[in-house]
Amino acid sequence: MYFKNSVAAIIIIFAAIIGTKAFFSDLIHVSYNDNLTVVERIKPLGQVYLAGDIDVNTVKAPVKTAAKARSGEEVYTASCSSCHSVGVMGAPKFANKADWAPRVKRGISDLVKVAISGVGAMPPKGTCMDCSDSEIKAAIEHMIK
């Protein structure tokens, strides 16, 4: 009797495991559907050249192009509008003369200096870390219109 119950319990446990696996395996489908071949996927990202492998005189240096300066409106839309459009944590609102008046009195150069270093809840450069000083100035001028 004891043996029959043990065998029955083992069968029930295996059935539960197989049933659970079958149920959950249909819920998750993990597949890598990519047209790249295995060779292309595992190739190295770079190459190492030893002295004499290549002629260094034939290698051309990459040409750096000057980034086009963004307008004040572009910088404002990308980085400043999230706070200055609604006045988050006391930020002066866009084109609100009353909010900007005490700041404008200090001069545009002081506004740019403060914007670059950050003040209060405003992080340095207002989260636009790739903005130049002239782009920050243009954004401020756009906001105080």
Q: Which of 4, 26, 136 is nearest to 70 (CA)?
A: 136
Q: Which residue do the tokens 């890598």 mark?
A: 32
Per-residue pLDDT, 27: 65
Q: Which residue do the tokens 């197989």 mark?
A: 18
Contact present, 143 and 100 (Cβ < 8 Å): yes
Residue 80: alpha-carbon gap to chain centroid: 16
Is 80 exceeded by the pLDDT of residue 1? no
**What digits encode the pLDDT tens for the residues 37-96?**
777 778 888 878 777 777 767 777 777 776 788 898 999 899 888 888 898 888 999 999
Q: Which residue do the tokens 């403060």 mark?
A: 114
Q: What is the mean pLDDT of residues 139-143?
A: 91
Topology at the third CATH level for domain 72-143: Cytochrome Bc1 Complex; Chain D, domain 2 (1.10.760)
Rounded CA separation 50/80 (Å): 49
